Amino acid sequence: MKVSVVIPAYNHEQFIGPAIDSVLAQSLQDFELIIVDDGSTDNTAEVIKSYTDPRIHYFHQENQDAFNTINRGMALSKGDFIAILNSDDIYAENRLQRLLLVQQDTGAQCLFTDVIPISDRGEEFSDPDFGWNVWHRQNREFYRTVPDLYTGFLNGNFMVTTSNLFMSRKAMEQVGKFCSLRYLHDYDYMFRMLLAFPDGVQYLADEKLLYYRIHDGNTLGEAAVTGREQDLQLIRKYMLKKIPDSLQSYVQAGSERLQTLQHELCDVRHTLNSAEPSVRESAAKFAAAVKYKIGKKLRS
């Protein structure tokens, strides 16, 4: 068997059907589809069980979060290559065949492509000024100025999602399981992949072979805060991985100080902007007086 596709599924009764259909419609038909239902409480299981294709293998478990669900699916896989598809995303029809051809040509151990962002209704977010498009474009433009995958990923996760991962069994076994980061386990996994195979990761930057669903209900909340906290930890960790041991203490101390200063600047600006006009004027006069006295002292 050539490819094992792993779908971690949780409460996606609306989307799991199109996800499964996109795998069954692949131009490459030599695959198995492993679906692990992470304790869904809606009709996700019923939708999955309505399919009778013998290549589909369904497993149910109590809710354990996405990274554990993916890890179980990968452990059950038997293919020479492993691909992941989140239960709300969709493969382009030629995705698996195209990635396998590039792998055979280059010997890459891991591959990913560009993506097409879509809404809950499957409509493409094509407006270049749409927030997600701006973020993704900036990450890709930075990568093109380097162009080095590890440096590019330090600037931002332009792989975007676990659904974008296609890897050899050798790579999966060497890199190991996904870590227990709720929001950024895919980001962490790619850094580990790049460390394990510095010249073995291939980015098909000009090919959009994955439809990535951005839900209409996404709002700022816990995920926005926790995700950024995890992002800080990851960047610090994997930046230091590329620094010689003798220099790591300098880089860590300096980066932490820069982070602290950035927070302090934000706090000061917020305080000044929200202060009464008289308070802002007094602060400005005080700063001018201090500047004058320091200048006078230096001239004397």
Whether residue 229 lies inside any domain: the answer is no
C-alpha span between 45 and 87 (Å, rounded): 12
| Enclosing domain of residue 284 | 245-299
Q: Convert the pLDDT of each residue in 9-37 to its tens digit.
A: 999 999 999 999 999 999 999 999 999 99
Domain match, 118 and 78 both: yes
C-alpha span between 270 and 281 (Å, rounded): 15
Domain match, 42 and 153 both: yes
C-alpha span between 185 and 177 (Å, rounded): 10
Phi-psi region of 11 (alpha: psi -120 to 50; beta: other; left: phi over 0): left
Q: What is the mean pLDDT of the chain?
A: 90
Q: Convert the pLDDT of each residue in 60-92 to its tens digit.
A: 999 998 999 999 999 999 999 999 999 999 999
Domain match, 254 and 203 both: no
* Predicted confidence (pLDDT) at residue 285 exceeds the cutoff of 80: no
**Structural domain total, the chain:** 2
Domain match, 135 and 14 both: yes
Say if strands 56-61 and 31-38 run parallel, antiparallel, or are unpaired: parallel
Whether residue 137 lies inside any domain: the answer is yes
Domain match, 197 and 71 both: yes
C-alpha span between 98 and 93 (Å, rounded): 10
Whether residue 56 lies inside any domain: the answer is yes
Domain match, 147 and 282 both: no
Domain match, 138 and 251 both: no
Residue 220 binned pLDDT confidence (cut-offs 50, 70, 90): very low
Whether residue 207 lies inside any domain: the answer is yes
CB 105 within 8 A of CB 99: no
The residue among 199, 218, 237 that closes a domain is 218
Give the residue, 282 or 145, on which the prediction is more confident: 145
Domain match, 112 and 257 both: no
CB 94 within 8 A of CB 49: no
Domain match, 155 and 202 both: yes
CB 24 within 8 A of CB 9: no
**Is the four-CA dihedral 5, 204, 108, 242 of positive or negative sign?**
negative
Domain match, 24 and 116 both: yes
Q: Which CATH number characterizes residue 133's domain?
A: 3.90.550.10
Strand runs (DSSP E) across the chain, as ranges?
3-9, 31-38, 56-61, 81-84, 90-91, 110-118, 166-168, 201-213
Would you state the torsion angle of the CA atoms of residues 48, 53, 57, 59, taken in this order, to the nearest 10 degrees? 20
Whether residue 270 lies inside any domain: the answer is yes
Whether residue 106 lies inside any domain: the answer is yes
Domain match, 146 and 15 both: yes
The residue among 158, 183, 218 that closes a domain is 218
Q: Convert the pLDDT of each residue in 179-216 to its tens digit.
A: 998 889 999 999 999 999 999 999 999 999 999 999 86
Domain match, 132 and 259 both: no
CB 57 within 8 A of CB 35: yes
Show the tokens assigned to 81. Answer: 């290559």
Residue 278 binned pLDDT confidence (cut-offs 50, 70, 90): low
